[in-house]
């Protein structure tokens, strides 16, 4: 990588992370090296691109305009390199954001096939049950469940998965099995990030719609914890089918109200707004569409 290209990539990461040290870690450089390279870039363009304080690094007006143009150039350069190679080989890096439970259960098991197809590509999976800031984190594509919050982003519908209600055999033996949605009002409920409203759950069957107020016994911020709590017998949980497929298979959870539907959960591949999608990001989404439909 030549000096100017390295400087541009460093500038983008400094701008997006708001930190010289974070950018240094990402590109395996020392912080003084990053500071020196950015200073040289500013001298080259003839103006200050960032404002440095003891707490953060922020962009100047010139820096904000420069960032928008540089990101477009870097994306176009990667696309040009890909086309010029005239093959399906992908190079460089790819940063993918996703919910942690979905990533562990559904993406990690199938990602080896994608890596095998593209041995020159380095992939980073950023997993969190809290939605990441795709721009600040330098994300190339985010896998999102449910309704998309960012209407300005380009997204691909990758598939749908059923939302179910489940509980452990121990809990159901002690508290009874709900036969209708209204029965849930008398049950302890576990609410996690994959659940619906913490106050009301809605169901449909044969054109009939029913909403029931539920009693939240436990609230957790991670879907894995919600499923684990249900397995432990704390209460009833609702999650997408992928979130508890293994537990249903081994019998540690039992689906209830299976003749009622809570609505499917859509899975989208959302490309970071403001710049063209990387070829590798598009390729990953296409690969996952095929894998998730198996």
Q: Are residues 57 and 79 in the same domain?
A: yes
Query: What's the CA gap between 15 and 64, in Å, rounded?
Result: 9
Query: pLDDT exceeding 90 applies to what percent of the chain?
Result: 38
Question: Residue 118 is encoded by which pair of tokens?
Answer: 């593209």
Per-residue pLDDT, averaged over 100-112, amounts to 92
Long-range contacts, stretch 172-179, CB < 8 angstroms, 24+ apart: 172/254, 172/256, 174/233, 177/256, 178/236, 178/256, 178/257, 179/257
CA atoms of 272 and 151, how far apart (whole Å) = 11
In this prediction the pTM is 0.71
Q: Is the pLDDT of residue 197 over 60?
A: no
Are both 26 and 132 inside the same structural domain?
no
What's the whole-number average pLDDT of the chain?
86
Residues 6+ apart with CB under 8 A from 158: 143, 267, 268, 269, 285, 288, 289, 292
pLDDT of residue 173: 96
Question: Based on the structure, what is the number of domains in the chain?
Answer: 2
Q: In 3D, which of 160, 204, 183, 196 has the Cα closest to residue 256?
A: 183
Q: Tell me: pLDDT of 135 over 80.
A: no
Contact 145, 102 (CB under 8 A): yes
Name the one residue in this structure whose structure tokens are 């209600």. Answer: 165
Angle at 10 between CA 123 and CA 285, to 5 degrees: 25
pLDDT of residue 259: 94
pLDDT at 153: 64
- What band does 244 get if pLDDT is binned at 50, 70 and 90? very high
Q: Is the pLDDT of residue 104 over 70?
A: yes
29-86 confidence digits (pLDDT tens): 898 899 899 999 999 999 899 998 777 788 898 888 888 788 778 877 876 776 666 5
Do 52 and 11 share a structural domain?
yes
79 and 97 co-located in one domain: no
Q: What is the mean pLDDT of residues 203-216?
A: 89
Q: pLDDT at position 264, please? A: 86
What span, in angstroms and rounded, lies between the C-alpha atoms of 187 and 183? 7
- Mean pLDDT in residue range 94-111: 92
Place of tokens 């477009």: 72
Neighbours of 210 (CB within 10 A): 13
- Per residue in 220-242, pLDDT (tens digit) is 888 899 999 999 999 999 998 88
Last residue of a domain, one of 25, 51, 86: 86
CATH of the domain at 58: 1.10.10.10
Tokens 């990533």: give the residue: 103
Residue that is last in its domain, among 68, 86, 104: 86
Residues 106 and 143 in one domain: yes
- CATH number of domain containing 224: 3.40.190.290
Tell me which of 61-65, 194-198, 290-294 is least confident.
194-198
In this structure, what are the phi and psi dihedrals at residue 18, rounded to the nearest 5 degrees? 70, 25
- Residues contacting 258, CB < 8 A, separation 6+: 164
> Is pLDDT larger for residue 139 or for residue 284?
284
Same-domain check for residues 63 and 126: no
The pLDDT score that the predictor gives to residue 70 is 85
Cα(192)–Cα(216) distance, integer angstroms: 10
The whole-angstrom distance between residue 278's C-alpha and the CA centroid of its chain comes to: 17
Q: What percent of the chain clears pLDDT 70, i.e. is strictly above it?
A: 92
Within this chain, do residues 152 and 279 fall inside the same structural domain, yes or no?
yes
Write a three-state SS string for 138-185.
CCCEEEEECCCCCCCCEEEEEEEEEEEEEECHHHHHHHCCCCCHHHHH
Report residue 194's pLDDT band, with 50, 70 and 90 as the boundaries: low
Task: Give the pLDDT score at 38.
Answer: 92
Residue range 257-291, pLDDT digits in tens: 999 998 888 899 998 776 778 889 999 999 999 99
From the number of C-beta atoms within 10 Å of its C-beta (0-12, 13-18, 19+), residue 169 rates as middle
What is the span of the domain harbouring residue 16?
1-86
- The pLDDT, as a whole number, for residue 200 is 83
Half-sphere exposure of 99 (CA within 13 A, CB side): 20
Which of these ranges, 146-150, 174-178, 243-247, 274-278, has the smallest mean pLDDT? 146-150
Do 135 and 278 belong together in one domain?
Answer: yes
């Amino acid at each position: 990588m030549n000096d100017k290209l390295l400087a541009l990539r460093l500038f983008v990461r400094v701008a997006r992370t708001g930190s010289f040290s974070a950018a240094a870690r990402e590109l395996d450089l020392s912080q003084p090296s990053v500071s020196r390279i950015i200073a040289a870039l500013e001298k080259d363009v003839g103006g200050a691109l960032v404002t440095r304080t003891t707490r953060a690094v922020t962009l100047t007006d010139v820096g904000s305009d420069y960032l928008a143009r540089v990101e477009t150039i870097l994306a176009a350069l990667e696309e040009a390199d890909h086309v010029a190679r005239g093959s399906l080989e992908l190079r460089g890096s790819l940063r993918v954001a996703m919910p942690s439970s979905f990533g562990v259960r559904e993406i990690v098991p199938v990602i080896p096939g994608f890596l095998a197809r593209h041995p020159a590509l380095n992939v980073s999976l950023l997993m969190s049950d809290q939605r990441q800031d795709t721009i600040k984190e330098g994300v190339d594509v985010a896998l999102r469940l449910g309704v998309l919050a960012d209407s300005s982003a380009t997204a691909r519908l990758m598939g749908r998965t059923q939302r179910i209600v489940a509980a452990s055999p121990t809990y159901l033996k002690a508290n009874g099995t709900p036969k209708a949605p209204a029965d849930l009002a008398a049950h302890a409920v576990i609410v996690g990030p994959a659940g619906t409203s913490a106050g009301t759950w809605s169901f449909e069957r044969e054109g009939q719609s029913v909403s029931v107020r539920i009693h939240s016994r436990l609230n957790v911020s991670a879907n894995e914890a919600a499923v684990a709590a249900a397995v432990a017998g704390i209460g009833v949980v609702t999650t997408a089918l992928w979130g508890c497929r293994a537990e249903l298979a081994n019998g540690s959870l039992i689906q209830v109200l299976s003749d009622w539907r809570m609505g499917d959960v859509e899975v989208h591949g959302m490309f970071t707004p403001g710049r063209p999608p990387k070829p590798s990001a598009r390729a990953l989404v296409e690969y996952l569409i095929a894998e998730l439909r198996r």
